[in-house]
Amino acid sequence: MEPQAQQSNTPARAALNAGLVIGLVMLAINFIIYFIDYSFLVAAWYGISILVIFFALVIYFGSQYRKEIGGYMDFGVAFQFSFVTLIISGLISTLGNMLLYFVIDPGLPELLVETQLENMVAMLDSFGAGDSISGDQIDEMRSEMANSFTIAGQFKAFGISLIVYAILALILGAILKKRDKTKDF
């Protein structure tokens, strides 16, 4: 018979709790960065930093869950834990972004589009390709960026994120799994 802790705390339940915490932490970081300087929200360093924090938190909560269930976790359980955690935290982040973009500061998406476009043109200039972009191409990029900040764009991005989350969950599952080698005999 399994201990009570193992029976009551399924991977999905543990992932739900971890996802809520991670989602709220990511949301808090996003709002803090917004209040410091909104242009950081579209900076490459910010995106990379958030990804590292995101990964670290999932690994932390995954290892905590692994300890809670006896120190071992097979790949399937680790994948399920990681995937559900990523979905829940991603959903909270998406809803928080929508709150920021459409309720708190409805003018923010336009500012972010312009900042993102300036960053992109500056990067192209640094590679010597800035002069090769026409005004029509810049207008098209601006339109595509603006569409990503609409409600439909946010849900579309979340849908695409589900595929990315599945791939990340495979990686995280491989990191979090730990086989009980005493059962190999």
Q: What is the pLDDT of residues 81-106, one digit of tens each?
A: 999 999 999 999 999 999 999 999 99
Tell me which of 126 and 52 has the higher pLDDT: 52
- Look at residue 6 and tell me whether its pLDDT is greater than 60: no
- Look at residue 1 and tell me whether its pLDDT is greater than 80: no
Q: Can you read off the two tokens belonging to residue 133?
A: 């972009």
43 — alpha (psi -120 to 50), left (phi > 0) or beta? Answer: beta
Task: Please tell me the predicted confidence (pLDDT) of residue 128.
Answer: 74
pTM of the model: 0.84
Helix (H, G, I), strand (E, B) or coil at 70: coil
- Look at residue 29 and tell me whether its pLDDT is greater than 90: yes
